[in-house]
Amino acid sequence: MSGGVLRNCVVYFNRAAECANYDDDASTDPIWIQHSCTTPLPAGSGNIDADPQLLTATHLSPASPCIGAGDPDYASGVDLDGEPWADPPAMGADQPGLPTGLLSVSIDAGLTNVAAGYPVLFRALNTGPILKSVWDFGDGTLLTNQPFPSHAWSTAGVYAVQLTGYNDSHPSGVTATVMVTVSMAVYYVDCASANPVFPYRTWKTAARTIQDAIGAGTLAGRMVLVADGVYRTGTADASESNRVALTNVVVVQSMNGPEATMIEGETNDTNSARCAYVGDGSILSGFTLTNGTAGAAGGVLCELLGMVTNCTITGNSAYDGGGVNGGTLYRCTLTGNSGLDGGGALRTTLYDCVLTNNSAGWGGGAGWSTLYNCTLAGNSAEGYDGGGATFSTLYNCTLSGNSAGDGGGGASHSTLYNSLLNTNSTGAQGGGASSSQLYNCALIGNSAGGGGGSSSGTLYNCKLTGNFADSGGGSLGDTLFNCTLVSNQATNSGGGAAAGTLNNCIVYYNEAPQGANYEDSSCVMNYCCTIPKPSGMGNLTNTPMFVDYMNGDLRLQPNSPCINAGRNDYAFGPTDLDGNPRIIGGTVDIGCYEFQGSSPPNPPLALHLLAQTKDDILRQGFGFLLTGESNRLCVVEYSADLRHWIGLWTNHLADAATEIIDPDVTNAPARFYRALLLP
């Protein structure tokens, strides 16, 4: 979806070349999302990104996190089954209620006549309340509560695919059936074949070109097996000239993998050719694709539902997506490709892939893509942003040694989850990331002109260590929640942070000629542990007491003052950087790690001196930090002679340390201070 307003909605399992579930580009057509279930997690109140756990395409399972997660202000009328909305309502069109009433189910099958081994996509549909759904694929395979399953059959035959739905009015279930015919269909290719004979159904009669074998059959999911060799002859037109074009839902697979089997394009100025085109539903597996040139994707151009697996895509060039444009890649290596946008990949979904030494103007490794468990190393955006990735979403990825000319050495304008960004660089801003959102990420050893770790982004539960810049060694112009910034350096100012807003953060042991930990004139800080003490609420100057600072273990010791010292309003996400529960003991800790041990014992009543300069004392007064058992009534008093005591402060102790200032100390005689618990 692009543009508009979504409230109490489920927007999941959609497909698109980019922005599969929604387009959040505010510069084009802004979209507002509240109390909805989608991914990536959008800004807006009440949103979640968990799997909605659907029973069918429209109905929620009893375990769905969407139940009770909507906002009653946005619920009116009845759900799609005519049932009233609960308070609070569910997200989506279905309000699970009384499991009784009329029920019907149906099946949407992607194919009903298919080759053995090819996965067929199904969709479960229903009307009426439903408690449980069961798929039976006719070969002994059963699945429960799967709205969009896929299944492949290994042997030929006719199979009855059944979907059964249950509720309390139909305890025996209601069933829908679709018949699927499965046939054996294999074609063979060998570039050294001595006797190619149509339709190429044996190795002895194998085709010499891959395209000849593709054209020999029409059954969806048919297999084309390719022998070792270099395939550099033959062409097929499909969105420009291609060495190979996979159409009509075909699987093309090498016998011995990309090390032994190559598809080579053409870079001749008068006769250029892309290596391969992969149409919707087709699969290309086990090849090296090299030396291809085209306007869009020199290596592989994929339609939205095209798939490439176990391939090496290297040395290709194109205007849009030097290596790959579109589709989905699994376990592929993209190296040495180049383009204007997306040197390695453009508008592609990648799983478990490696992208190295690709180059582009925008997005040296990947642009406008979604990446899962991928490694992006040594890629470069030579003229613009995003050495590793730009305008992309990355989950559990590693971005290392990437560079950019104009910001975001690792990533720019992207959203990253549980990822590592290290040793990336840019001469501009954001060595690790720029203009990005980062959740539970580590930024280590990155460098930039400004914001060695990150610049102009929003970071949640992140660690920034060993980063370097002229200004803002760790962070420049970011908004940070529950982050730890340690051992960063700046040659000018703001060793840890500059020009940013920091909440629940530890900013300690950083270095700069001015503002070693933070640039005082440009940072807003609340509930942070740093030195010197900034203005703002709930800040501490105490040593954070890491488990092993010298060896990089920045988790908290049991007696750290940062435990239970943050503010819950500033805590985002259910887990800390380790993936552990974010709030233990009722109050969030300061920093990216939540202390997971048993709650520390009630601290003894103690009055600590604040770290203050003489100018601080003359300007503000004499300062203390008061700690003790939460909610106990306490009084702080002062005396000039230890006999006559005057009350300075009386209140209940807070969970975090309380700052107390005695402003009347100028030209006053020496004073003694004490703290007492009251009954």
Return the half-sphere exposure (C-beta side, CA atoms, 13 A cut-off) of residue 638: 17
Confidence check: pLDDT of 622 > 90 = no
Q: Could you give the CA distance from residue 97 to residue 77 in angstroms, rounded to a whole number?
A: 15
User: Across residues 17-43, what is the average pLDDT?
Assistant: 80
Query: Residue 491: pLDDT above 70?
Result: yes
Residue 522 backbone zone (phi > 0: left; psi -120 to 50: alpha; other: beta): alpha
Residue 608 CA to residue 615 CA, distance in Å, equals 19
Q: In sequence order, what E strands does 79-156 have?
A: 104-109, 113-115, 120-127, 132-136, 142-144, 150-151
Give, in order, the Cα–Cα distances in Å from 273 to each of 277, 292, 297, 474: 11, 6, 10, 45
Give the single-character DSSP code of 73: G
Lowest mean pLDDT among 117-126, 398-407, 564-573, 626-635: 626-635
- Report the distance separating Cα 360 and Cα 381, nearest Å: 5
**How confident is the model at residue 598, as a pLDDT?**
65
- In this predicted model, which residue has the larger pLDDT, 156 or 633? 156
Handedness of CA 238, 244, 248, 249 (dihedral sign): negative
Q: Is the dihedral of CA 10, 14, 16, 20 positive or negative?
A: positive
d(CA 598, CA 365): 44
Contact 433, 408 (CB under 8 A): yes
Please give the Cα distance from 452 to 57 (Å, whole number). 45
Superfamily assignment of 104-183 in CATH? Immunoglobulins (2.60.40.10)
Q: What is the pLDDT of residues 109-162, one digit of tens each?
A: 999 999 999 999 999 999 999 999 999 999 999 999 999 999 999 999 999 999
Q: Where are the domains of the chain?
A: 1-95, 104-183, 186-447, 448-599, 606-677
pLDDT > 90? residue 673: no
CA 235 to chain centre: 39
Please say if the pLDDT value at position 607 is more than 90: no
Compute the distance between CA of residue 662 and CA of residue 664 in angstroms, rounded to an integer. 6
pLDDT of residue 600 exceeding 60, the answer is no
Rounded distance between C-alpha atoms, residue 468 and residue 445, angstroms = 7
Q: Domain 186-447, CATH 2.60.120 — does that match?
A: no
- Whether the pLDDT of residue 667 is over 80: the answer is no
Determine the pLDDT at residue 605.
82
Average pLDDT over residues 39-65: 89
Q: How far is CA 601 from CA 527, 543, 560, 609, 633, in A?
A: 22, 19, 12, 22, 18
What's the confidence (pLDDT) of residue 16? Answer: 83
Residue 434 bridge partners (DSSP): 412, 455
Q: Length of the chain, please?
A: 679
Beta bridge partners of 412: 390, 434
Residue 509 banded pLDDT, cuts 50, 70, 90: very high
> Residue 235: what pLDDT?
79
Query: Per-residue pLDDT tens for 194-205?
Result: 999 999 999 999
- Is residue 599 over pLDDT 60? no
Would you say residue 674 has pLDDT above 90? no
pLDDT band at residue 611 using 50, 70 and 90 as cut-offs: low
Residue 26 has pLDDT above 70, yes or no: no
At residue 279's C-alpha, the angle toward residues 219 and 354, to 5°, is: 120
Q: Is the pLDDT of residue 601 over 60?
A: no
Q: Rg of the Cα trace of the chain? A: 31
pLDDT mean across residues, the chain: 92
Mean pLDDT along residues 635-643: 84
SS3 372: strand
- Evaluate whether 594 touches 558 at the Cβ level (below 8 Å): no
What pLDDT was estimated at residue 171? 94
Q: What is the pLDDT of residue 612?
A: 66
The whole-number pLDDT of residue 1 equals 54
Picking from 48-62, 113-127, 322-336, 663-677, which range would have the lowest pLDDT averaged per residue?
663-677
* Mean pLDDT, rounded, for 482-487: 98
Please state which of the ranges 15-29, 53-67, 331-345 shows the lowest mean pLDDT: 15-29
592 contacts 482 by C-beta, under 8 angstroms:
yes
> Which SS3 state, helix, strand or coil, does residue 570 take?
helix
Tracing tokens 């040197």 back to the chain, one arrives at 343
Asked whether the beta carbons of 418 and 461 are under 8 A apart, the reply is no
CA atoms within 13 A on the CB side of 111: 24
What is the pLDDT confidence band of residue 27, given thresholds at 50, 70 and 90?
low
Residue 31 has a pLDDT of 83
Q: What is the share, in percent, of the chain residues with pLDDT greater than 70?
A: 96
602 has a pLDDT exceeding 70: no
Percent residues over pLDDT 90 in the chain? 76
Question: d(Cα 353, Cα 309) in Å, to the nearest integer?
Answer: 10
Q: Where are the alpha helices (DSSP H) in 215-356?
A: none
Q: What is the pLDDT at residue 9?
A: 93
Q: How far apart are CA 50 and CA 169, in angstroms?
A: 30
For the four alpha carbons of 138, 144, 146 and 151, in that order, the dihedral sign comes to negative
Quote the strand ranges of 116-235, DSSP E: 120-127, 132-136, 142-144, 150-151, 157-167, 170-183, 186-189, 222-226, 229-231
pLDDT in tens, 75-116: 988 999 888 999 999 999 999 987 888 999 999 999 999 999
Q: How confident is the model at residue 29 (pLDDT cuts 50, 70, 90)?
A: low
SS3 425: strand
Q: Which three-class secondary structure state does DSSP give residue 226?
A: strand
Per-residue pLDDT tens over the stretch 269-307: 677 899 999 999 999 999 999 999 999 999 999 999 999
